[in-house]
Amino acid sequence: SQTIYRNDYTPPAYLVDTVELGFDLDPARTIVASRLTMRRNPDSERAEIELYGENLELVALRMNGKPLGKRDYRIDGNLLRIANPPQDVTLEIETITAPEKNTTLNGLYVSNGSFFTQCEAEGFRNITYFPDRPDVMAKFTVMLRADKQKYPVLLSNGNLIEEGELDDGRHFAKWEDPFKKPSYLFALVAAQLVCQEETFRLKDGRDALLQVWVEEGNLDKTDYAMQSLKNSIRWDEERFGLELDLDRFMIVAVGDFNMGAMENKGLNIFNTKFVLANPRVATDVDYAGIEAVVGHEYFHNWTGNRVTCRDWFQLSLKEGLTVFRDQEFSADMIGTASGRAVTRIEQVRTLRQAQFPEDAGPMAHPVRPDSFVEINNFYTVTVYEKGAEVVRMLQTLVGRDGFRKGMDLYFERHDGQAVTCDDFRNAMADANQRDLILFERWYSQAGTPIVKARTQYDADAKTYSITFTQSCPATPGQPKKLPFHIPIAVGLLGADGRDMPLGQDGANGSTAVLELTEETQTFNFTGVGEQPTPSILRDFSAPVVLEYDYTDLELLHLFSHDSDPVNRWEAGQRLAMQRLLRLTSAVASGGKLELDATFIDAMRKILTDDGLDPSFREQALLLPSETMMAEQMSVVNPQAINAARQFVRATIGTTLRTELMQQYLANMTPGEYSPDALSAGRRGLKNLALSYLAAAPDADAIELAQAQFDNAGNMTDRVAALIGLIHAGADSAAPALQAFYADFEKEALVVDKWFAMQAAAPATTVKAVRELMKHRAFTLKNPNRARSLIFSFCGANPAQFHAPDGSGYAFWAEQVIALDALNPQVASRLARSLDRWRRYAPALQGQMKKALQKVAGGKKLSNDVREVISKALA
Ligand code: DPP
Ligand code: ZN
């Protein structure tokens, strides 16, 4: 395993103009014939052709018609080199692969008897020898040949230009992609599938054929994906003036898939999880995920495909930007200001739950990393979600119209090119005549900045000042950080709870965006008639930790009145977190557990405020997670955290029993299920009420959960009821689980839920998980299934996973090793579970270190897992 550095980038010595691929598909022995027309790259000094290839049997290699012998080329590991070729070259390459043996789901593989591909980031080299790097963009023509009975559907990128019959029951299809693309966007599917299709009129009057391909029995679950695709196309036309550039756009669902989905040109391949939905099998969260991921992959057609990445260090160029775009799409689909705020709150939650810990741990890396061993390890929350925050900050700095101008300039300059994060930032700067030089640090420096705020009010002068001081903790390889360019949106609340008009440069009504660019800076507000309560970092205007000594009274004031819903929510989170941490210490020291009436009253007020959207109330009443609590502690005590949080939940369930019951009844959604935001919000609030009631288990709450389980008209309600029964430890939980399985055993995605619910239940021990692994429906080979049981246990059940005897860690090590033998990409995700091991008490640390070392000692470890484990131990 070798470290690759961003600064070592050199342009490719040869470019590829056209690629013709021929596939004779056979699970045991697929023959791939490739014909490349190549020419010297005028921007390169080197005179050498470099082709990557892995797990391939090379059968033939010809250059300009002549077979090349062993002396004409060299193979070093995964690199095939041809020295001093002529200026213009036609290469013909024949290789053989065995897709049925490919358990990595990287490259060409078989899932449930059909062929699929996954080529990002470096999967194409498992299909044929090729300059498999994103800055080599070529026009692809693809001929697929396969048995007609077994593989009636043959798909690839672009347009179908020919199809027909062959001898021996085989048939063929020829596809041509009119656009140049890098090899990571290549895809093929040869399968038994059916599709829902529709002709859709684009803004310019052209008609496009839209298809969603699934296995036969799933045609009743494609409507929402199709609707989301149409919404995505419309949205990109309207918001960014970007149109679909193909006559045909396909989504294909596959049950075995490493990631969520893949944006291959014209042929998106999706994990079934992000395609299949109907009310019987999918929850509101599933529906929202489908909309977001369908949007995300579609939006990649411009941000990723038309303009792609020069090298993999620039991954966030397409991912951060495309996540930002899918976030905006989802928010616009809801439409209301408060619905938009709820999506923002969910984004903040994800950052705190996953990205901040990553940025503080051994795998911390900048949004644009400087080095990696295995690029697959860098498809991270930092590159994606923090990358999206960085793009969002750009929009905050240049405004929404300015952002659109920057996007327009970006496409004007770079359409058809492979470019860098700097190119994107420069387009934003130039389109808006803004200096964004300092802003570059968001791309180059890892770590979550800490912003400390101090305030001062001068009643005589009627001035109010806020002084910010920023710092950023050291991260691996980056001991010292320079100040970031941080947009901080601020509002000031009066005693009446209303926003004060702001006398400050750049103020926009009642919210000012202050730009912190130095280590310490003071901002002054004038004409401030009374001591205000500051609402700082509105809408979470930067991915930072804000430290300000709010009093309880100030937080209660913000929680009741802040006009910015995100900060209103945030005030509640701060109130809750303080109490949760205090209670955690009390649990650890055997102290008395008490929850103050002030807090309960604040919760009651929000719960019963019918003027607020149910979805906002749900967010405001949700407690910070155990993981977020752990991040706040210098020595993490998982069992005490769990007990403290359970205590708060039970106390809320008991003391607000009447109100919870009222809200439960008031937010029922009778009639036909609809996944729209308002209905989903009502179900969310109702089911949160149920979960609090069931946390203080009394016979009534359990009966209520049982009745909801028995009568549920949709999966959202059914799952919520079942979780209530399981968490309450009800006698009826086991029979309910059994009934659930019997009802849904043919629905793989629901069986995943069945495993996941059990894995995350507080009473589920390591031993119980081992038992569940023996269930006939369990297999490590399917990533969704492995994630549903093993990842859920290691990630969503901290109190059991961190069992003091170390049994959870031993289990984890076994599973990482077992998974690694099948699928390194999936194993490497699980390997991240112990990232934060140094923050636990010495006894637990010792156990974790032992488990890490056990994995590190594995003889056949993949680069993927080795990189993660060695960084954890470093
Ligand atoms: N590029 C994919 C996505 O994020 C990941 N393979 O959509
Ligand atoms: Zn993406």
223-263, pLDDT tens digit by residue? 999 999 999 999 999 999 999 999 999 999 999 999 999 99
Q: Which residues surround ligand 2, an ion (CB under 5 A)?
A: 319, 322
Res 127: pLDDT? 98
* Confidence check: pLDDT of 783 > 90: yes
* Confidence check: pLDDT of 505 > 80: no
Residue keyed to tokens 């509101």 = 284
Going from the Cα of 322 to the center of ligand 2, the distance in angstroms, rounded, reads 6
Please tell me which residue, 1 or 194, carries the higher pLDDT value.
194
Question: Is the CB of residue 262 below 6 angstroms from any atom belonging to ligand 1?
Answer: yes
Res 504: pLDDT? 63
Please tell me which residue, 435 or 509, carries the higher pLDDT value.
435
Question: In terms of pTM, does the model score above 0.80?
Answer: yes
* Confidence check: pLDDT of 503 > 90: no
**Cβ–Cβ < 8 Å for 533, 524:** no
Going from the Cα of 446 to the center of ligand 2, the distance in angstroms, rounded, reads 21
Nearest alpha-carbon partner for 452 in 519, 535, 528:
519
Q: Which residues contact 797 (CB under 8 A, 6 or more apart)?
A: 759, 760, 761, 762, 764
* Confidence check: pLDDT of 506 > 90: no
Which long-range contacts does 358-362 make (Cβ < 8 Å, 24+ apart)? 358/382, 358/835, 359/386, 359/446, 359/447, 359/448, 359/475, 360/447, 360/448, 360/473, 360/475, 360/631, 360/836, 361/835, 361/836, 362/476, 362/835, 362/871, 362/872, 362/874
Q: How far apart are CA 648 and CA 326, in angstroms?
A: 35
User: What is the DSSP pairing of strand 248-254 with strand 159-165?
Assistant: unpaired
610-649 pLDDT tens trace:
999 999 999 999 999 999 999 999 999 999 999 999 999 9
Nearest alpha-carbon partner for 341 in 158, 129, 570:
570
Which residues of the chain are in CATH 1.25.50.10 domains?
A: 745-874
Going from the Cα of 268 to the center of ligand 2, the distance in angstroms, rounded, reads 11
Which ligand has the shortest distance to the CA of 317? 2
Question: Is the CB of residue 261 below 6 angstroms from any atom belonging to ligand 1?
Answer: yes
Q: What percent of the chain has pLDDT over 90?
A: 98
Res 857: pLDDT? 96
Which residues of the chain are in CATH 2.60.40.1730 domains?
A: 1-192
Q: Kindly state which CATH superfamily the domain 745-874 is placed in.
A: Peptidase M1, alanyl aminopeptidase, C-terminal domain (1.25.50.10)
Please tell me the residue having the least CA distance from ligand 1 atom 3: 262
Q: How far apart are CA 718 and CA 710, in angstroms?
A: 8
- What topology does CATH give the domain 450-561? Immunoglobulin-like (2.60.40)
Question: Is the CB of residue 319 below 6 angstroms from any atom belonging to ligand 1?
Answer: yes
Question: Is the CB of residue 259 below 6 angstroms from any atom belonging to ligand 1?
Answer: yes
Q: How far apart are CA 739 and CA 478, in angstroms?
A: 54
Instruction: Give kind and range of the element (H or E) at residue 455.
Output: strand 450-458
Question: Is the CB of residue 121 below 6 angstroms from any atom belonging to ligand 1?
Answer: no
Going from the Cα of 152 to the center of ligand 2, the distance in angstroms, rounded, reads 29
Q: How many residues does the chain have?
A: 874
Q: Which residues contact 163 (CB under 8 A, 6 or more apart)?
A: 154, 171, 172, 173, 174
What are the tokens at 244? 């679909």
Q: How far apart are CA 237 and CA 626, in angstroms?
A: 41
Which residues of the chain are in CATH 2.60.40.1840 domains?
A: 450-561
Q: How far apart are CA 491 and CA 502, in angstroms?
A: 8
How much is the average pLDDT of 864-874? 98
Residue 203 burial (10 A CB sphere; 0-12, 13-18, 19+)? middle
147-181 pLDDT tens trace:
999 999 999 999 999 999 999 999 999 999 999 99
* Confidence check: pLDDT of 57 > 70: yes
For the CA of 293, the nearest atom of ligand 1: 7
* Confidence check: pLDDT of 844 > 70: yes
Question: Is the CB of residue 512 below 6 angstroms from any atom belonging to ligand 1?
Answer: no
Question: Is the CB of residue 122 below 6 angstroms from any atom belonging to ligand 1?
Answer: no
Which ligand has the shortest distance to the CA of 324? 2
Going from the Cα of 18 to the center of ligand 2, the distance in angstroms, rounded, reads 26
What are the tokens at 462? 């009627």
Q: At 617, is the secondary structure helix, strand, or coil?
A: helix
Res 509: pLDDT? 78
For the CA of 120, the nearest atom of ligand 1: 6
For the CA of 297, the nearest atom of ligand 1: 7
**Cβ–Cβ < 8 Å for 215, 116:** no
Q: In this structure, which CATH number among 1.20.140.10, 3.40.50.300, 2.60.40.1730, 1.20.120.1200 belongs to the domain 1-192? A: 2.60.40.1730
Confidence of residue 375 (pLDDT cuts 50, 70, 90): very high
* Confidence check: pLDDT of 386 > 80: yes
Residue keyed to tokens 């991260």 = 475
Question: Is the CB of residue 318 below 6 angstroms from any atom belonging to ligand 1?
Answer: no
Res 377: pLDDT? 98
Confidence of residue 698 (pLDDT cuts 50, 70, 90): confident
588-597 pLDDT tens trace:
999 999 999 9
Residue keyed to tokens 């992609």 = 177
Question: Is the CB of residue 385 below 6 angstroms from any atom belonging to ligand 1?
Answer: no
* Confidence check: pLDDT of 507 > 70: no
Best mutation site among 264, 265, 300 for ligand 1, i.e. most ligand atoms within 8 A of its Cβ?
A: 300
* Confidence check: pLDDT of 499 > 70: yes
For the CA of 263, the nearest atom of ligand 1: 7
How much is the average pLDDT of 690-718? 96
For the CA of 318, the nearest atom of ligand 1: 1
Question: Is the CB of residue 269 below 6 angstroms from any atom belonging to ligand 1?
Answer: no
Question: Is the CB of residue 293 below 6 angstroms from any atom belonging to ligand 1?
Answer: no
**Cβ–Cβ < 8 Å for 602, 553:** no
Question: Is the CB of residue 383 below 6 angstroms from any atom belonging to ligand 1?
Answer: no
Best mutation site among 263, 298, 315, 318 for ligand 1, i.e. most ligand atoms within 8 A of its Cβ?
A: 263
Please tell me the residue having the least CA distance from ligand 1 atom 6: 262
Which amino acid is it at 256?
D
Which ligand has the shortest distance to the CA of 182? 1
Going from the Cα of 260 to the center of ligand 1, the distance in angstroms, rounded, reads 7
Which long-range contacts does 585-588 make (Cβ < 8 Å, 24+ apart)? 585/640, 586/644, 587/637, 587/640, 587/643, 587/644, 587/647, 588/637, 588/640
For the CA of 121, the nearest atom of ligand 1: 6
Please, what is the average pLDDT of the chain?
Answer: 97
Going from the Cα of 326 to the center of ligand 2, the distance in angstroms, rounded, reads 10
Going from the Cα of 185 to the center of ligand 2, the distance in angstroms, rounded, reads 12
Please tell me the residue having the least CA distance from ligand 1 atom 7: 262
Please tell me the residue having the least CA distance from ligand 1 atom 2: 262
Going from the Cα of 763 to the center of ligand 1, the distance in angstroms, rounded, reads 35
Best mutation site among 116, 118, 120, 376 for ligand 1, i.e. most ligand atoms within 8 A of its Cβ?
A: 120
Establish how many alpha carbons lie within 13 A of residue 134's alpha carbon, considering only the half-sphere containing its beta carbon: 28
Going from the Cα of 715 to the center of ligand 1, the distance in angstroms, rounded, reads 27
* Confidence check: pLDDT of 508 > 70: no
Question: Is the CB of residue 747 below 6 angstroms from any atom belonging to ligand 1?
Answer: no
How much is the average pLDDT of 48-67? 98
Q: How far apart are CA 313 and CA 325, in angstroms?
A: 20
Question: Is the CB of residue 514 below 6 angstroms from any atom belonging to ligand 1?
Answer: no
Nearest alpha-carbon partner for 609 in 578, 553, 565:
565
Please tell me the residue having the least CA distance from ligand 1 atom 1: 262
- Catalytic residue numbers, as ranges: 297
| Phi, psi dihedral angles at 448 (to 5 degrees) | -90, 115
Question: Is the CB of residue 539 below 6 angstroms from any atom belonging to ligand 1?
Answer: no
Return the ∠ at Cα 464 (arms to 463 and 465), rounded to 5°: 125
